[in-house]
């Protein structure tokens, strides 16, 4: 009997959150998994051309400056970069290491279901993030427009002072401060994401 095909999404699901272990077990010893540190590349050397991404533990993502020839990828791609393995070799090595190369039908079905759930969760998270960004952008635009309207009203009032009732200075200051606080809060929130 020939080798049984294991879909990529099932192997990726089994590998999720285990990339440090997988890489070490398959001969890639990273000096750090801190995504803020630049280190020598485990494949092509250098001094500080390599770093893992913030989601390295989950997806194995990495970046190598490659001495002017940048490369990046997921955990499977690092196996290819470091060992020169093609895609099939990468998948086979990970499947065998994780013990899923010889799954029976019931276990394979469970892994497929888990892969579908994880994909649905990733899609829902991406959609929620996009929706949140759209909502926040609309609020920021509205607040900026309101601030611009107040400034415009102040300019017009200065020229036609007797005909208009001037807003109180403390009202203007309060609204402007609100706008500054909301914009600043939003900016800090985006940086922390």
* Domain end residue (candidates: 37, 71, 103): 103
Q: Is 91 inside a domain boundary?
A: yes
User: Range of 133's domain?
Assistant: 125-192
Residue 89 and residue 17 share a domain: yes
Residue 93 and residue 135 share a domain: no
Residue 70 and residue 37 share a domain: yes
Residue 140 and residue 90 share a domain: no
Which is more confident, 136 or 167?
136
Residue 12 and residue 61 share a domain: yes
Q: Is 118 inside a domain boundary?
A: no
Measured CA to CA, the distance from residue 108 to residue 130 in angstroms comes to 33
Contact 76, 90 (CB under 8 A): yes
* 36-50, 133-147, 160-174: which is most confident: 36-50
Burial class, 153, CB count within 10 angstroms (exposed 0-12 / middle 13-18 / buried 19+): middle
Residue 132 and residue 64 share a domain: no
Give me the number of domains the chain comprises.
2
Enumerate the H helices of 98-163 as residue ranges. 105-159
pLDDT at residue 22 is higher than 90: yes
Q: Is 162 inside a domain boundary?
A: yes
What tokens were used for 71? Answer: 């490369």
Residue 97 and residue 21 share a domain: yes
Residue 152 and residue 94 share a domain: no
Residue 185 and residue 130 share a domain: yes
Residue 149 and residue 181 share a domain: yes
Q: Is 184 inside a domain boundary?
A: yes
Nearest to 14 by CA among 90, 95, 135: 95
Measured CA to CA, the distance from residue 89 to residue 138 in angstroms comes to 48
Q: Is 98 inside a domain boundary?
A: yes
Residue 164 and residue 88 share a domain: no
Q: Is 36 inside a domain boundary?
A: yes
Residue 130 and residue 99 share a domain: no
How crowded is residue 56: how many other Cβ atoms within 10 Å of its Cβ?
21
Question: Can you give the pLDDT at residue 145?
Answer: 77
Question: Can you give the pLDDT at residue 2?
Answer: 45
Question: Can you give the pLDDT at residue 185?
Answer: 67
Q: What is the pLDDT of residues 56-108, one digit of tens each?
A: 999 999 999 887 788 999 999 999 999 999 999 999 999 999 888 777 778 77
Q: What is the pLDDT of residues 160-184, one digit of tens each?
A: 666 666 676 767 777 777 777 777 7
Q: Is 119 inside a domain boundary?
A: no
């Amino acid at each position: 009997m020939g080798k049984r095909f294991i879909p990529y999404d099932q192997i990726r699901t089994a590998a999720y959150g285990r990339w440090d272990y997988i890489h070490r077990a398959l001969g890639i010893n990273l000096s750090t998994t801190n995504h803020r540190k630049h280190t020598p590349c485990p494949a092509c050397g250098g001094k500080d051309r390599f770093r893992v991404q913030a989601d390295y533990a989950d997806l194995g993502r990495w970046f190598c400056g490659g001495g002017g020839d940048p490369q990046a990828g997921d955990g499977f791609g690092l196996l290819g970069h470091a060992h020169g393995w093609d895609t099939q070799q990468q998948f086979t090595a990970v499947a065998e290491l994780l013990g899923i190369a010889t799954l029976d039908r019931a276990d394979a079905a469970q892994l497929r279901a888990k892969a579908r759930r994880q994909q649905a969760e990733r899609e829902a998270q991406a959609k929620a993030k996009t929706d949140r960004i759209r909502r926040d952008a609309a609020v920021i635009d509205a607040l900026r427009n309101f601030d611009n309207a107040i400034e415009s009203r102040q300019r017009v009032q200065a020229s036609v002072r007797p005909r208009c009732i001037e807003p109180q200075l403390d009202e203007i200051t309060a609204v402007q401060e609100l706008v500054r606080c909301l914009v600043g809060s939003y900016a800090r929130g985006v940086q922390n994401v």
